[in-house]
Structure 1
Amino acid sequence: MVFLIPIFQGLSMKKIVGCAYAMVFLVILVHSDGLAQQSSIGKPSSKSSSIFHALQKQLEASKKNPDQPKKIVQSHLKLGEYYHSLGLYSEAMEQYNKALDQLGTDFNDTLFITLNNNIGKVYLSLNNFELAEQHFTETLNASKGIKNDRGLAISLGLLGASHEKQGEYEEALKDQKESLLLFQKMEDQPGVAMTNENIGSIYEDLEQFDMAYQYFNKAYQYLKGKGTVEEVNVLNNLGDSFRKTGNYPAALEKTAMALEVAQRLKDFHQLESAHKDLSKTYAFLGDFEKAHAHLLQAEEFNSAMLRAQNTDQLNVLQTIYETNKKEAEIQLLKEQNKVSRANQNLLWVALFAIAAILTILYNYLGRKRKAKLKIQEYKQRMLKAELEKKVIEEKNLQQEVQLKTSSLSRYSLHLSQKNKILLDLANTLRNIAARKHMDTSEKIKALVKEIDFNLQQEQEWDEFMTFFKEIHPEFIKKLSTLSENNLSPAELRLGMLLRLNLSSKEIASILRVTPDSVRVARHRLRKKLSIDQKEELVNFMIDL
């Protein structure tokens, strides 16, 4: 290091530290011969094949119960998340799309919200921000529709992460703060911690390190002592905040705590991040040996992580290949079985053909027999219809005879009544004519009284009533029930005479009243029966 002293003469301490740090990194990069950049995938799993097989078995088991589609969706979802964790994005998208196809058009389901967010995460990992934000926005609207605060909070957080990656810090802060309010409302501590850390990261990008530290510290209060990857992340971020504000002892303390938790977790990615942050801090402190040592360790963990990740990917891809190969072999055997069965089926086809011909012949003869039966049934129905027609005609004739009988009876009744009165009058007048010295005036008066008396007799009406009831037995009963007030005998007589379709003049003659009196009586009867003004009273009585 002595040969570097002339180069640093005349420079400030801050510039010297910066130059030294850059040179240390240059040496390490040359030493590592251009190793790939660090991956953002989580810690590798040594049991990738067993995990993959377990997820595949779970998917196959769920497919055996097609009446429970949500279990199939969940199986595809878990397998897609596993592919995503290994960086196999195309395989992850395939599983997510199969899950969506199984889910159908139920966009208000919580599974749809998770699936759509996961698809957006894949696009976000591929830096396809437009498609990622499109899926996050769809999920956000769906979460609002079903009032799913958790889905809404997660979607806002992912939108904020997309804006942050694109340098749109104002939109990112707005989304993350809305997400934080929702997680606080739900009292979701992991969500609150994660969102506080995301907001701190945005302020760190804006070089507002005091604000970044406040949010990182809030996140740490939720994660402190949990021994999780999230605790390591926030400790590393706190160390970054202290380092960037020149508080190197505090930075070393937080990063060392992160390294300790990462070692317990055996998380290569977090171990790499902790050693790299320690290297940066020691470089600023001028302790280049420690900076170099930690940077070498960071590079080793990065290489180990990449190797483990590549191994996991190869194992899973190999397993997928072998699975597909076995499925192809099974399909080939099935096709061969189909060909072998085809020859056997020829014999069955011949037998079925003979059976079909016999069945067709039997059915033909059966249909022919049924057709004959139908013709016979049709002829019987025709005969029955003709008989019914004759019965109806006979019934109509009987009704016509009854109507004519009724008219004749009415006429006979009228003549009988008139003839009886005339006979009585003739007898009386004959007696008067035989007595020469009789006072005719007095006798005529007595005759008038007798006529009046005879007209008031009810015997003829009783006979008429009896005869009318025989012809129209239900008329009087029906007429009486139509009025709320009881009908008088005179009103019932008027109704019966109207039923016989007599004119007002004829009714007046029979009742020995004036036609005007008949019209008044008809009006009163119509009023009692509440008959529509447009309907004729006579027609009403005839239809009754």
Structure 2
Amino acid sequence: MSLSFQEQIENANVLLQENQLEKSIESYLEALRLASSPQQKVHLHSVLGRLYQKTKNPKGALSQFKSALEQAAQFAEAMDSADRASILNNMAAIYAEMDHRKAIDHYKEAIHLYQGLVGNGNKGFLPHLANTLFAKAEAHNKKNDFYFAKKNYKEAITVYESLSNIAYERLRASAHHQLGNIYTEEFNLFDAKVHYGKALTLFNNLIGAGEDALKPYLAAALNNLGVTFKSMGEPEKALEQYNKALDVYHGLSDKSPEIFEPYVAATFNSLGILYAEVGNFERAVEHIQQAVVIYNGLADIKPREYTHYLATGLHNLGLFHFELKEYELAGDYLSQALEIRKKLAMEQPKNFDADFCATALNLVELYQTEMERKLDFDYKEKALALLNDVQVRLERYDAESSVIKNMKSDCGHYLDYFEGIDTEQVTVNVIMKRVNDLYEEIDGTILPAEKLVFQQEITALLNTNSEHFPNSTRLRNELVNAHTNQSWLYLRLKEFNKAERTVLEVPKQERQSLALQCNLAHGYLLQDQMDQALEIYCGLKEQTNAVNEKFMDIVLKDFEILQRDGIDHKGFEVVKKLLSVT
């Protein structure tokens, strides 16, 4: 026996209360077949549309909602503006997952209806208007249509501000947060900071009132405000916000580690990068290490999701230890990162070849440093093996990419260096680096006696290595400069005999340096060996140095410095007359 319309409705309602949605749909469809009035049909189409939404049948839902609107178009009295707006909102929510443009059009039509209701004095529809404005803003945001997204978020905020329910405070906070995200995307950092600040105030107030479910949103806003301050060049404020976000994420992770541990690790990583950017590599290492510990655990559980984060953390630890000149640790971490990235690149070369090459090139730079520091040429072979691998990988990719282009350039530079380097060249480079460091120490002192300590070390270093590499023109020239500088310091310290010996220790073929001859003349003069001194001064009279400075003027300046050091000699005047200096 067939059931009547009313019986089908009653049966459907019972099934709905028992949460038997599929069976209730069957009964409502039978009721729809038996419906006699437009109002009944519109109502049942609307109910079925919502049921299809609940049962994840978007096509069925849209079909029913469209039928409801078509019936209402034929019989205006069958649906009022509020119901029409509600259906449009439901359809827009479905389209939001598949067609943003249609979603926006439906939200727009619903907004128009709600504005009309509110304009007629129906203030009870203000929440519906605000929520629809918010939803339309979200649809624009997903479409990257930021102008209208900002416009609708702001309009929604204005309406929410007129409402007192705590639920609307949550949405207002979310709207401010989304505005902050958009302004960050547009690099409008001041406005981003303002809206993140408003969102934080609202989230904190709501959490203080017991809305603990909003803590993840609070942490996200704190993190994003940290990013904004970092972009604004205010690292201290960024650190403050990151640390606040970290505290919130720690609390959330204690209760739900499977959800929030990745956020804890990401925040540790952000802190580490920021500390590195301000040059505090010790703190950078401290925070990245904590991120690596978490990512290591996560990678064990979900390797496809977190292994590359682990590799990035290890890579950064290598870089930061490199900056701290902790070369063994740097090499260890970079090698670990390289091994992981090599495996990832084997599985997904397009995604991870560039990462592998980046780590490999950093490791090559470390090998160069270690080779020059230890004079260990095994590093040359290791570097060349890596560079050949990098070169092959990079050739697969378009050089138009700035990242690939830069890596190709670096790879070429290092190949030229390691293929062309030899033992003597590396050793001389190392020696000269040490010599330059010692000259910086000299420049940082004032007293001649303090300078002499460093200068003697320079001279001894060059003497020893000139014997090992007698054909090195660079070492021979630097040795002459060292003897020149050391003899000058002996002169200033009144150790005239040592100054003379220092000059005469230079091999004869190198002793023709005019600056060295100048110091030898000063030594003879101050030891009252006038004839020998004057002979050299005469030879210097018409000479100039490499920067075209006359030695006549150099001699004058030397005499002034010696006099300031308390060294005076009657021969100074004799030399001035000889050089026609009045």
Under TM normalisation by the shorter chain, which class is it? 0.3 to 0.5
Give the number of the structure with larger relative contact order, counting CA–CA contacts within 8 Å between residues 6 or more apart: 1
Q: TM-score, normalised by structure 2?
A: 0.36
